[in-house]
Every structure is written in C-alpha cells, then in structure tokens.
C-alpha cells in the first residue's frame, strides 16, 4: 500500500479485536471481483476497510438499510481545466455525484503557464477530498503546428513524474511521430513510466506500432470497429462521454458483446453545466444501464476498472485493506448517492458537501493573456475566387470534415456568408504577443451575425474566434484581453454576453453555479446569433487542436491532420 497507515491496528479491527472507527451496517455490499451483492457490515479503521462481515461495534455506526454500497467512482482520463473550475470547486461539484478520484492530464495549464502552472495545480489539490492523480503531459504543444507558452522538455516531464500521485506519461497525441519512431517521441516513452494513448482512427499496422511503443490505453475510439480492434490488441479502451464527444452509446456494444474486460469510463472534457445538471461518472453509469448494461458492470467500468487500468492498488473495491471510498446508493438506476465516504470520512450527506478550503489563486496565474492587438487588416482574406478549404463541424464529435467550397468574394476579399453557413474563423497567438494570426472558414455553427471568441482553445489555448463580421471578431479578441481570458459573444460591435476565466484564461475562481449561469447567458446570446449547436464553446475550442482529424486551424494556419501538415486556405 503506497500511503502510510497503522497496519497492526487495521489487522486487529479486521479480526474483531479492536473497535472500528466507522461501521456501515445494513447495506447490500458490491463485490467487484465476483459481481455479487453481499450482506454484511463494512468496518473501517484509519481510512481503510478492515473487513466485510459481522462487526457489532464501531465508534460511529451508519445505518444503510435498503441502500447499495459500491466503491467510489474514478474518472480514468480527464482534464480538470475543461470544467472551467478550480480543482477545489470541481471537487465540490463531482463529490456529490460519487466521484472520489480522477486521473487527469494537466496539459491545458501546461500549455499556458508551463511547469510552474502544473506544479501550482498540483499544490492546489492538497486538502481537497478528491484523489487527484496526474499524468506527466507529453505533448506540450500537441504538435509542431501549435504555439504554447513554451514547449515541454524531457526534464519538464521528469520534474512532474517526481511528484506524489503522478502515475505516468500522459496521452501521446503525436501519434504519427510515435508510429514513425520519432526519437523525440520515443524518448518520452523511454522515461519508463506507463503511458496513455491518443490515437483517433488509428488501425492496422499503424496501431500495432503505436501500442508496441508501450502505450496501454486510448480514449479516442469513436466507432465500435476501432474500439474492438484496440481491445483485441490489449489496449485499455476508455469509453468517453465528454460535452462534445459523446461516444458512450456507440461503444456500449463492445461491453454487451465482449464483456467489460480492459474497458473503463472516462469523461475527458466536460463543461460545468453538464457536470452540475447531469453528473459525472454516475451519469455514464446511468446511461449505460438505460442501454442494457447490467448495473454491476456499469459500476465496474466507473470504479474498479479505472483503478486497474492505472495500477491504483487498493482502490476501486470494497474489500479488506482497500481505501474506504464508498458510495451509498438508493437504487441502481439513478446512481445518485445519498452519502459519500472518502477515506472513511463522510464528505457528502443530506444533499450537502462537507465544507473544505478553497485556496487563493496567485496573481501570476491570472495574468496569462498577452496577445498583440488585432485589427481588421489581419482578419482580411484576399481572394480571386479560387476554391478554399473549409472546416466542417460534425455535431457532438471532435473529428471534423475537410470540405472544399467556393468562397463568397466581395471587392476581392473572401467573406463570411451566413446564407451558406460559412463563417470566418481565426486563431490569435496569445502567449508572447507575436501578432501571429491563422485565418480560415468553417461550416456547421449556423452563425448568422456577430462573433464569439474564447481563450479556451485546445491544446495551446491561444485565442480562437468565429464570426460573420470582421468588426465583431476584432472586438471579441480585444475584450478577451481586457477580462484576462474567457468567452465573449459580440453583436453589432457590442458585447452581448461574457464569462471571465481569469485563472490561466481557462478557469473561473467563482462557484460552479455562477459559472454555469454565465454559460447559460452566453448560450442565450449565441442563439440570437443563430447558433444552436450542442456544446458550442467546446466545439469551437477543439477546432484549434491539430491532432484530431481531419481539418483544424492554429495560429500558423490550417492543418491537414490526416497528412500531418500545414495547408494553404486556397486549394
């Protein structure tokens, strides 16, 4: 067991010769290793489970008659920053849904603030009643086409790997580099730690090469055939249900037809409104059961299997010696706990999270938007009418189509054309004030007028803006600098709604309910601009990620992800 505890006392409590700190009585107890429900008391001492059986004593006794006791839920792969909340506020939100541990890749803040940002994020986890395990970010930037504050070195990764609760190397997004045996990518895998994957659409010999490099998991499968091939080759398939990458229902046949082995749940990137209103891992369990998965299997995928995937010993089960992270559920349909125990302590009960400290955010974490001014001249696209490449949005997916479209040209300039759902998109470098701007066009937002912009732009998190009006786009870019980052909606050269995200330009320091209210106001504003696309903010942010097919955009221009190269706007 990795953390210290009084082993002799736990043994004595297990034997029945010493008094437990807490006894949970009357519940049906889930056995993760046989998928059975056991009757018996759960005895807890020093934050550990001493045993399940007949334990009549206990300093504190909890009557759980009629309830189901299951292990705390664990998110197998996610990014805290995508919640737009600080770690403490994120914890307050997900604890009520039964999440007691997460495995996160902090590469969002790493792109903005470097290793200093990662170490600050790790420090802010202390005292939070949520186990935050970290993978050392491997792709900062995600590719050579993106511009972070500065690229991570092997030394940067090693400094993170030395931190407590760091489990290994985070998702290897440069899958072409890994498959080609690029020395820089292989050097990251040579650090000796386990490594997570990120290989959308990779199949056949390329997949063999990717996994042979030592990568053990992948969360990017979006078809059943792809997920099945990856699992056949011993890869852990992390089924994802993010805000705008809803793969759960499509991949559940993998579990129904082939069992749950080497499969686990993850959320990757979830907006706070989804977390607040629908839930976290419990929402995935609820949907899985609704689509024919046995509750016992859903619990495995949300707790035991994430622990097994990441080698988290003594977590993910209710058994002797395991951490006493326990949920009491009234049913196996809603998966909404009435009580949550973290290390044997009650952290949620009677509809309330037990209060805990939320550390202050230092000024240097807030001062991250350093974009040079952008005027109308930098947003103009001269054109003689030649066909152009256009990013085609696929709703609720991270992948995009690479379209070829004739532009609308006015006075020698290619412009947005709302009648054809053709909007202009730009990415502005915001870390060093270079003034570099990548320009393109996009279909699928339904934008009829105005513009909206954000400093949340995966993964380098430069400013990304989409608009029907160059004037409104320029105002949105300028306003983001004024508020220290966030999301802004503009119409007729007026700001219609905004949400400040001053923590690295990625997160708010406000309570989740206030952040969600701000997002709701933005959604209403976007609706008046014609946008009704699900998860519009997350959709826009991922159009700047240059490692998910097929066509994306960065401050360097358009990226053909399939060819892994920059391409001109005109065909």
Domain extents in the chain: 7-56, 72-317, 364-567
Question: How high is the pLDDT of residue 1?
Answer: 37
What is the phi/psi pair of residue 485, to 5°? Answer: 105, 160
More confident residue, 164 or 295: 295
Mean pLDDT across 185-213: 95
Distances 94 to 183, 263, 291, 353 between C-alpha atoms, Å: 40, 22, 23, 10
pLDDT band for position 396 (cuts 50, 70, 90): confident
Same fold, 7-56 and 72-317: no
pLDDT band for position 12 (cuts 50, 70, 90): very high
Query: Any bridge partners for residue 152, and if so which?
Result: none
From edge to edge, which strands make up the β-sheet containing 494-500? Answer: 400-405, 388-393, 437-443, 422-428, 463-467, 451-454, 486-491, 494-500
Distances 157 to 2, 107, 183 between C-alpha atoms, Å: 22, 11, 16
Beta-strand relationship, 463-467 and 388-393: unpaired
Mean pLDDT across 322-349: 98
Mean pLDDT across 415-438: 98
Buried b (16+ CB within 10 A) or exposed e, 3-22: eeeeeebbeebbebebebbb
Residues 515-525 have pLDDT tens digits of 999 999 999 99
CATH code, residues 72-317: 3.20.20.140
Asked if residue 550 has a cis previous peptide bond (ω within 30° of 0), the answer is yes
Closest alpha carbon to 311 in 165, 430, 466: 165
Right CATH for 7-56 from 2.30.40.10, 3.10.20.740, 3.20.20.70, 3.40.50.2300: 2.30.40.10
Mean pLDDT across 378-398: 96
Please check whether residue 129 is in contact with residue 354, taking contact to mean a CB–CB distance below 8 angstroms. yes
Residues 341-377 have pLDDT tens digits of 999 999 999 999 999 988 899 999 999 999 999 999 9
Query: Any bridge partners for residue 415, and if so which?
Result: 408
By three-state DSSP, how is residue 126 classified? coil
Residues 441-475 have pLDDT tens digits of 999 999 999 999 999 999 999 999 999 999 999 99
pLDDT band for position 194 (cuts 50, 70, 90): very high
Q: Residue 351 burial by CB count (10 A; 0-12/13-18/19+): exposed, middle or buried?
A: exposed
Distance CA 197, CA 215 (A): 6
Distances 188 to 173, 192, 200 between C-alpha atoms, Å: 12, 8, 20
Q: Secondary structure of 33-97 in the HEC alphabet?
A: CCCEEEECEEEEECCEEEEEECCCCCCEEEECCCCEEEECEEEEEECHHHHCECHHHHHHHHHCC
By three-state DSSP, how is residue 321 classified? coil
pTM given for the model:
0.95
> 335: phi > 0 → left, psi -120 to 50 → alpha, else beta; which?
left
Distances 449 to 163, 375, 385, 414, 491 between C-alpha atoms, Å: 48, 19, 23, 16, 7
Distances 439 to 193, 388, 431, 455, 556 between C-alpha atoms, Å: 39, 12, 18, 16, 9
pLDDT reading at 203 higher than 90: yes
Please check whether residue 82 is in contact with residue 47, taking contact to mean a CB–CB distance below 8 angstroms. no
Residues 74-94 have pLDDT tens digits of 999 999 999 999 999 999 999
By three-state DSSP, how is residue 449 classified? coil
Beta-strand relationship, 437-443 and 408-410: unpaired
Give the mean pLDDT of the chain. Answer: 96
H-only helix segments in 427-509: 470-483
Please check whether residue 559 is in contact with residue 567, taking contact to mean a CB–CB distance below 8 angstroms. yes
By three-state DSSP, how is residue 346 classified? strand
pLDDT reading at 3 higher than 70: no
> 394: phi > 0 → left, psi -120 to 50 → alpha, else beta; which?
beta
Please report, rounded to a whole number, the percentage of residues in the chain having pLDDT higher than 70. 99
Residues 13-47 have pLDDT tens digits of 999 999 999 999 999 999 999 999 999 999 999 99
């Amino acid at each position: 067991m990795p953390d210290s505890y009084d082993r002799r006392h736990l043994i004595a409590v297990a034997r029945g010769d010493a008094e437990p700190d807490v006894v949970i009585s009357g519940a049906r107890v889930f056995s993760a290793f046989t998928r059975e429900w056991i009757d018996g008391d759960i005895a807890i001492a020093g934050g550990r489970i001493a045993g399940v059986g007949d334990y009549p004593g206990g300093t504190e006794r909890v009557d759980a008659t009629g309830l189901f006791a299951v292990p705390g839920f664990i998110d197998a792969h996610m990014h805290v920053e995508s919640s737009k909340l600080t770690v403490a506020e994120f914890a307050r939100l997900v604890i009520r849904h039964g999440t007691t541990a997460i495995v996160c890749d902090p590469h969002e803040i790493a792109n903005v603030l470097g290793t200093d940002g990662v170490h600050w994020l790790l420090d802010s986890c202390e005292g939070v009643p949520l186990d935050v395990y970290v993978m050392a970010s491997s792709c900062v930037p995600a590719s050579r086409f993106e511009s972070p504050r500065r690229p991570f070195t092997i030394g940067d990764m090693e400094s993170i790997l030395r931190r407590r609760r760091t489990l290994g190397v985070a998702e290897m997004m440069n899958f072409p580099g890994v498959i080609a045996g690029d020395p820089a990518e292989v050097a990251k895998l040579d650090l000796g730690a386990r490594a997570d994957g990120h290989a959308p659409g990779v199949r056949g010999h390329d997949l063999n090469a990717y996994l042979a490099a030592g990568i053990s998991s992948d969360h990017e499968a979006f078809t059943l055939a792809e997920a099945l091939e990856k699992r056949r080759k011993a890869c852990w398939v992390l089924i994802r249900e993010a805000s705008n990458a809803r793969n759960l229902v499509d991949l559940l046949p993998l579990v129904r037809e082939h069992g749950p082995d080497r499969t686990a749940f993850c959320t990757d990137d979830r907006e706070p409104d989804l977390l607040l209103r629908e839930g976290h891992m419990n929402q995935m369990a609820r949907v899985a059961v609704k689509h024919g998965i046995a509750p016992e299997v859903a619990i495995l995928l949300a707790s035991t299997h994430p622990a097994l995937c990441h080698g988290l010993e003594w977590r993910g089960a209710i058994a002797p010696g395991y951490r006493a992270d326990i949920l009491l559920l009234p049913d196996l349909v809603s998966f909404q706990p009435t009580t949550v125990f973290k290390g044997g302590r009650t952290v949620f009960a009677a509809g309330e999270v037990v209060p805990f400290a939320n550390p202050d955010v230092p000024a240097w974490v807030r001062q991250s938007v350093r974009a040079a001014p952008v005027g109308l001249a930098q947003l103009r696209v001269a054109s003689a009418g030649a066909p152009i490449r256009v990013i085609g949005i696929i709703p609720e997916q991270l992948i995009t189509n690479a379209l070829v479209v004739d532009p609308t040209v006015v006075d020698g300039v290619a412009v947005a054309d709302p009648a054809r759902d053709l909007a202009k998109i730009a990415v502005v470098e915001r870390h060093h004030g270079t003034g570099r701007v990548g320009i393109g066009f996009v279909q699928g937002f339904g934008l009829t007028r105005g513009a909206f912009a954000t400093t949340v732009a995966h993964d380098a998190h430069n400013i990304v803006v989409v608009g029907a009006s160059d004037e409104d786009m320029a105002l949105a870019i300028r306003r983001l600098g004024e508020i220290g980052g966030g999301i802004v909606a503009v119409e007729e050269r007026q700001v219609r709604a905004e949400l400040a995200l001053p923590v690295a330009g990625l997160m708010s320091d406000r309570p989740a309910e206030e952040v969600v209210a701000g997002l709701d106001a933005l959604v209403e504003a976007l609706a008046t601009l014609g946008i009704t696309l699900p998860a519009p903010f997350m959709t826009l942010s991922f159009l700047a990620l240059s490692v998910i097919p097929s066509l994306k955009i960065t401050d360097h221009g358009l990226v053909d992800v399939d060819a892994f190269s920059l391409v001109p706007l005109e065909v």
